[in-house]
A and B are shown apart, each in its own frame.
Chain A
C-alpha cells in the first residue's frame, strides 16, 4: 500500500469531515493526524481504508468529548482564539451564518452528524451502517430524520429560512 499517496488522497476529506463534525479546526487536525498514525500500525486492505479512517476518526471524536471540553475551556480562558476582526457588514453576516451552522451541527446528536457528513463525503449506506453500528436498512430513515432535525435546529435558532446562496 502506498501510504504517501493515500495520505494525499484522503487527508483533505478526513480533515473536512472532522472539522464539520467537531466544529473545531485544531481538534480536527489532531484527530486526522492521530487516525493516520493508527492506520500505519494496521494492515487494512486498501479498498477498506477510507471507511476505516472515517470510522476510527469518529470513534476518537466520541471518546475525546470530555477531553475536548477541557481543552475548549482552556483555550477560552487563555484567549487563544484571535478576537473577531470587525469588517464590512457582508463579512460580519457571513461569519454569523458560519457560526449558526456550527451551532446547529453541534446541537444534533453525534450519530446524526456522522451520518449526514459521511453522506456528504459520498459513502454508501452499507459503509455508513458499518461505521455507525446500525442496520443498513435503517440508514435511509436515520438520514431523513437527521436532515429534518438539522434544518429544524438551524431555522429555530436563526429564525431564518436557512442558508442563502
Chain B
C-alpha cells in the first residue's frame, strides 16, 4: 500500500472510515513509520486546537439568555404571520370590492359613485390634495444588552421629533429597547459592551427597560444625559424635573 495521505489519516482519526478501510489502514500504520508519524502530528494538532478553543471559550461573555432569544423569535414570527394574513385579507377585500363595483347596478357600484359625486361637489372641482395615509400600527422590534461592570447606557440619536420615550425599571438582568419596526428610514439598533445605540425610525413609542439591579443605568439623547437610575428610582438630568419614579416618559424635541 502507498502512503495513506493526510485526508485518509484525518478520516481515520475522526472515525469516518468504514470498518474495512480502517482495518486496511491500521495494518499499514503498523509497518509505515512515515504515515504513523503523520497521524501522530495530526492527533497532536487536533488536541492543541481543542485546547486552544477551550481557552478562547473561557474569555467568552455569556450570550443573550435563551429566553430572550426565544421571545424575540416568537415576536417576529407572530408579526410575520400577522403581516401575511393582513396582506391576504387586503387582497381578498380589494378583489371583492373591485369585482362588485364593476357590475352595473350593483349596490357597491352605486355607493362608490355616490361617494365620488359627493367628494367632487364638496371640493367644487378644485384639485384634490393628497391625503396622508393613516398611520399603520407597526410591529415593534427590540434588542437587549447585558450590563458591563454594573453599567448600562442607552444612546438615542437622530430619533424623529415627537418620538415618545418610555423608560422604566424592570426586574431583569438585561436592558431591553423596543421601537416600531416600520418606517423610513427604519430604526437601527447597534449593540456594544454595556450599551445600545438606537437611531432613525418613524417615531411613535420607543420603550426602554432598564435593569433595576445595576449600579449605573442611563438614557442619553443626542449626546446629552436625559434620564438616569438613582438608587431605586429614575431621575431626569435636566434641572427642575428631578425624580421620575420607576417609570417615566419624555418626548424627543429639538
Q: Which residues of A contact B (CB under 8 A)?
A: 3-4, 7-8, 11-12, 15-16, 19-20, 25-26, 28-30, 32-33, 36-37, 39-41, 71, 74-75, 78, 80-82, 94-95, 97-98, 101-102, 104-105, 116-117, 119-120, 124-125, 137-145, 147-148, 150-151, 154, 162-165
Contact = CB atoms under 8 A, between A and B. Distances in A.
Question: Chain A CB within 10 Å — which of B8, B16, B50 has the most?
Answer: B16
B225 interface: no
Given A32-B63, A124-B16, A147 B49 contact: yes
Nearest to A6: B70
Interface stretch (B86-94, B110-118, B188-196, B202-210): B188-196
Contacts of A151: 45, 48-49
Given A26-B193, A74-B190, A95 B59 contact: yes
Contacts of A29: 63-64, 191
Contacts of A148: 41, 45
Contact of A98 (B6, B11, B55): B55
Interface string B110-145: 000000000000000000000000000000000000
22 contacts: A3-B73, A7-B66, A11-B66, A12-B66, A20-B56, A29-B64, A33-B73, A36-B69, A36-B73, A41-B77, A71-B190, A75-B192, A101-B53, A117-B53, A120-B49, A140-B9, A140-B14, A141-B10, A142-B7, A151-B45, A162-B52, A163-B48
B149 A98 contact: no
Nearest to A126: B16
Nearest to B8: A140
B55 A19 contact: no
Nearest first, the 3 closest Cβ-Cβ pairs linking A and B are A141-B7, A80-B192, A140-B7
Contacts of A124: 16
Given A120-B50, A151-B48, A7 B60 contact: no
Contacts of B5: 141
Nearest to A74: B190
Nearest to B155: A78
B66 A80 contact: no
Given A12-B66, A37-B72, A40-B73, 18 more contacts: A7-B70, A11-B63, A19-B56, A37-B76, A41-B80, A71-B190, A95-B59, A98-B59, A101-B56, A117-B53, A119-B14, A124-B16, A125-B14, A140-B6, A140-B11, A147-B45, A162-B51, A163-B52
Contacts of B41: 148
B148 interface: yes
A101 B191 CA distance: 24
Given A147-B45, A150-B45, A165 B73 contact: no
Contact residues of B: prevailing secondary structure: helix
Interface residues of B, number: 45
B48 to A, nearest CB: 4
Contact of B42 (A7, A26, A102, A144): A144
A150 to B, nearest CB: 6
Contacts of A71: 190
A145 B6 contact: yes
A163 B63 contact: no
A74 B63 CA distance: 21
Contacts of A95: 59
B27 interface: no
Interface in B174-206: 190-195
Contact of B195 (A30, A80, A97): A80
Given A26-B193, A29-B64, A102 B56 contact: yes
Given A11-B66, A25-B61, A81 B193 contact: yes
B114 to A, nearest CB: 44
Nearest to A8: B66
A65 to B, nearest CB: 17
B58 interface: yes
